[in-house]
Structure formats: C-alpha cells, structure tokens
Amino acid sequence: MGGKCPHRKVKKRRLSHKTARRGKFLLKADDAVYEELVKLADHGKDAEAKELPVDEDLPGMGQFYCLHCDRYFASESVKDEHYRSKRHKKRVKVMSGPAPHTQLDADLAAGMGMPDNGLKLMSM
Amino acid sequence: MRLEKCWFCSSTIYPGHGIQFVRNDAKIFRFCRSKCHKNFKMKRNPRKVKWTKAYRRLHGKDMTQDSTFEFERKRNRPERYDRNVTEQTLKAIPIITKARHERLKKHISDRQKPGKKKELERDNKELEQDINMLPKKLISNEASAEKTKVKVKVKVVQQQTEDRMEE
C-alpha cells in the first residue's frame, strides 16, 4: 500500500500514482472476500476465528489480519486502530449488505432463466 | 456456439466481440465492449450504474417475471440432436422474441402511466384541504344525510363452514 517516492524533498514528486495503483491489484476482490465471510458464517465462526499461518514475508508474521479489508498489520494495537477507522467500518457495512454482483445475476437480468443442470446423476 | 452475457451490462456477446478477464482464482468475467471493461476496472457496481440491465431490473424499469424468460437458459447437459425439435425451435424464436418485446413495451407504457392509486390519493388530499371552498349548504346536507343512515341488521349466510366440511 501507499505511493511514497524515495525523493520526498521534491514537492512535485511526493506521491507516485504508479505504486499507489500496484496495491490495488494485490487486494482481494469484493466477491472473494464476501464468499470467505459467508463460508466462515456457515461454520458458525466469527471473522476473527480463522487460523493464520506464520509467514515471514508479511507484516507481523501474518498474524494480524483483517478479513474484511484483506490487510495484514504489524501488531495487535495497529489492528485495533484499524478496526476503529472509518474505512474499515465502511467496508464492514458493505460486506454485511447484499451479495456482490455475479455472472448469474447478469444472466438473470438479461432475461435468462436459472441454469438447467438436468437430473441429478447420483443420489447423495 | 454459446452466446454469453456481459458481466457488467448483461448484453449478449457475439463471437469475435468483447474481451474476457480471468482472475487469478480462475473466475471468468466477460465484457461486451471496452465501456463495460473499463467500468469493471473502476470497480463500479453494475447495480448502481443506471444503464445496466441489473440496475433496470432492480428498480422496476424492466419486466422481472415473465413466461418468456424460461426459454433461454444455460443448459449444462448433453442433448441428443433432433432435427424436428431444432426446426420447431428455430421457428419459435422470432415469435417468442416478438411476444416478449410487446410485453416489455406494455410494461414500460404501464409504468409511465400515472397510477390510479396516486390519483385517488391526490383527490382525497385536495378534498380534505379545500373543503371550505364548497358552499356551506352542501356540506351540512351531506352531514345530515350521513346521520340519517340507520344500521340495519343483515343475516349472514355461513357458507364457509359448509365448504370446509366438504373438504
């Protein structure tokens, strides 16, 4: 995240839009996050309950993770601070709302019926 | 040949048109034109963009329930080729399309008509607000007419219970 340049002294070059954009592609998309949250909710777990593997490359060894915003933090205190932020609260609100748009929604809106998968081949 | 629908605007994508984006979790997003692709890259929600089908459907601009929607659907199963069925299907397509367009036209014209309910509400409000404008004689007459109405007992035929017995 961020778009800071090495040459901060020059007023014009304080922010680099190129590096700012780079983080955008690393972030998980809305529907992927939503799916993850739904999966956790189905198991009756909280968003906090997910087990986190230790990863040296991530901030805080990948132990302080915000599922809603798909971000890793350096420590518990930083994470708590993030939870109090407006950005996080907005994100939680979006994620607790209706499911994100999918290809199925697009098909239904185009006037197609539900997909027809035929009879079930094997009974479970 | 499968005619896919655009992820963003739900229009049909014919072969040789549009662009396809495969995300690193193997999800496929198809776009009918660069306009839709760009809007996707801007992370816009199709439900909030007014020109998409998703928006129009959600806000009651287009038909949502119709029997013609049952024909076109993704069929994920093998079908044995039958020349007669194919012929009939090809004949039926333009007829169904025509019927659907007609229904859609009707839906839109109905939608744009001022609702009868709204009209009634407006009239009631007007009556309430401007009742003083009527000559006083009329109002007093109406009131007296209401007062003279006498309650009359009416026998109620209990049919419902009999019906239940039959069932």
Look at residue A2 and tell me whether its pLDDT is greater than 70: no
Angle at which helices A86-96 and A30-42 cross, to 10°: 70
Closest chain A C-alpha to B70 CA, distance in angstroms: 5
Contact pairs from chain A to chain B, CB under 8 Å: 70
CA distance B89 to A24: 47
Per-residue pLDDT reduced to its tens digit, B119-136: 888 888 888 888 877 777
Is A29 within 8 Å of B23 when comparing Cβ atoms?
yes
Per-residue pLDDT reduced to its tens digit, A28-48: 888 888 888 888 888 877 766
CA distance B21 to B30: 6
Question: Predicted confidence band at B10 (pLDDT cuts at 50, 70, 90)?
Answer: very high
* Closest residue, chain B, to A106 (C-alpha): B10
Please state the domain extents for chain A: 28-97
Closest chain A C-alpha to B69 CA, distance in angstroms: 5
Cα distances (Å, whole numbers) of residue B34 to A89, B5, B30: 33, 14, 11
Look at residue A3 and tell me whether its pLDDT is greater than 60: yes
Please state the domain extents for chain B: 1-59, 63-115
Nearest Cα residue to A55 out of A72, A79, A40: A72
* Closest residue, chain A, to B61 (C-alpha): A109
CATH architecture, range B1-59: Roll (2.30)
Which tokens is B92 given? 């039926």
CA distance A116 to A113: 8
CA distance B125 to B5: 47
Is B25 within 8 Å of A110 when comparing Cβ atoms?
no
CA distance B119 to B104: 24
Is B6 within 8 Å of A109 when comparing Cβ atoms?
no
Does the A28-97 domain belong in CATH 3.40.50?
A: no
Contact residues on chain A for B6, CB-CB shorter than 8 A:
106
Is B29 within 8 Å of A107 when comparing Cβ atoms?
no
Is A109 within 8 Å of B29 when comparing Cβ atoms?
no
CA distance B61 to B10: 15
Phi/psi zone of residue B17: left (φ > 0), alpha (ψ -120 to 50 degrees), beta? Answer: beta
